[in-house]
């Protein structure tokens, strides 16, 4: 599994712009969300369908950048409401995490990061597939969920942890059963909203971001499994897969909305 980009380049994630022009543009993600500056705006509630099980056809893989769950099930999980324009299909979810509890998330809240962040990636049904959608404004909708570390296992997260031993090396997808709905924070209608980009190359500025302020809890044992069991290969070197998060990007006068009930 080879890739043209990594989190390990000498210039870090800043070097992405030398190969992907978009990574240099002005509406990039992630950002630090300053809650006191966010504009109050009550969005309608979200509507999630077929999120509750990934029973048939979900596959989990170590893609060398993260652990990603592909949702090939039918009917496909869909997302609408929440101020989104139309219906979005969920295609995959994945995680960004650090090597210690002090960092790991991509987005920040009021200058603070979290040890881990999950992204559920959707594309608009206006477009035939995700590759086309990511070239369009609002073509993608990503839900971002922070995780915090406690000493109690999150039983819903065990579906991922159980698979880690078979995901050690990049490639080699395997079947997985998770209840996606139960991985979300309890109140999924309280969120921040802004327009940004993919946080990995090609950094396309096509994403409607929904960032949940309420973190989901996992145990330190669980996050340590993620920090120790997966390998990535860069420049011929095998290293443990950690610190797979992009640095903060400038907000550049973008509006951040706050929909808190
Ligand atoms: O990092 C993911 C990347 O793996 C890919 O899934 C892309 C969507 O095609 O999304 C980015 S991210 O912006 O969700 N981090
Ligand atoms: Zn992501």
Cα 200 to middle of ligand 1, angstroms: 6
Q: Residue 15 above 90 pLDDT?
A: no
Q: Is 144 in the pocket of ligand 1 (CB under 6 A)?
A: no
Q: Residue 55 above 70 pLDDT?
A: no
pLDDT, mean over the chain: 94
* Confidence bin at 12 (pLDDT 50/70/90): confident
Cα 94 to middle of ligand 1, angstroms: 8
For the residues 215-233, what does the mean pLDDT come to?
A: 97
Q: What is the DSSP string of the chain?
A: ---S--S-STTGGGGGGGT-GGGGSSS-S--EE-GGGSEE--PPPEEEES-S--TTTEEEEE-SSSEEEEE--SSPPEEEETT-SS-EEEEEEEEEE-SSTT---SSEETTB--SEEEEEEEEETTSSSHHHHTTSTT-EEEEEEEEEEESS--GGGHHHHTTGGGGSSSEEEEE----GGGGS-S-TT-EEEEEE--SSTT--S-EEEEEEEEEEEEEHHHHHHHHHH-EEEETTEEEE-----PPP---TT---EEE--
Minimum-distance ligand 1 atom for the alpha carbon of 29: 13
Q: Is 142 in the pocket of ligand 1 (CB under 6 A)?
A: yes
For ligand 1, atom 10, which residue shows the shortest CA distance? Answer: 198
Minimum-distance ligand 1 atom for the alpha carbon of 198: 13
Active site residues: 65
Q: Is 48 in the pocket of ligand 1 (CB under 6 A)?
A: no
ipTM of the predicted structure? 0.93
């Amino acid at each position: 599994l080879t890739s043209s980009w990594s989190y390990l380049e000498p210039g870090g994630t800043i070097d992405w712009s030398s190969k992907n022009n978009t990574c240099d543009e002005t509406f990039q993600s992630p950002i630090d969300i300053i809650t006191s500056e966010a504009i109050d705006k009550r969005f309608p509630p979200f509507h999630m369908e077929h999120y509750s099980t990934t029973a048939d056809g979900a596959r989990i893989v170590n893609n060398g950048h993260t652990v990603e769950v592909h949702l090939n099930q039918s009917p496909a999980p869909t997302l609408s409401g929440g101020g989104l324009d139309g219906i979005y299909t969920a295609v995959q979810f994945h995680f960004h995490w650090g090597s210690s509890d002090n960092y790991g998330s991509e987005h920040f809240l009021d200058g603070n990061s979290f040890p881990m962040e999950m992204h559920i990636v959707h594309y608009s049904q206006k477009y035939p597939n995700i590759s086309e959608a990511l070239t369009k404004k609002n073509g993608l909708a990503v839900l971002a969920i922070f995780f915090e570390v406690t000493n109690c296992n999150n039983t819903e997260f065990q579906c991922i942890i159980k698979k880690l031993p078979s995901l050690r090396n990049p490639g080699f997808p395997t079947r997985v059963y998770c209840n996606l709905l139960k991985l979300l924070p309890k109140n999924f209608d309280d969120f921040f909203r802004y327009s940004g980009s993919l946080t990995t190359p090609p950094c396309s500025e096509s994403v409607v971001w929904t960032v949940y302020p309420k973190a989901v809890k996992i145990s330190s044992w669980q996050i340590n499994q993620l920090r120790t069991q997966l390998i990535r290969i860069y420049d011929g070197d095998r290293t443990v897969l950690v610190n797979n998060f992009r640095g903060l990007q400038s907000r550049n006068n973008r509006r951040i909305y706050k929909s808190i009930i």
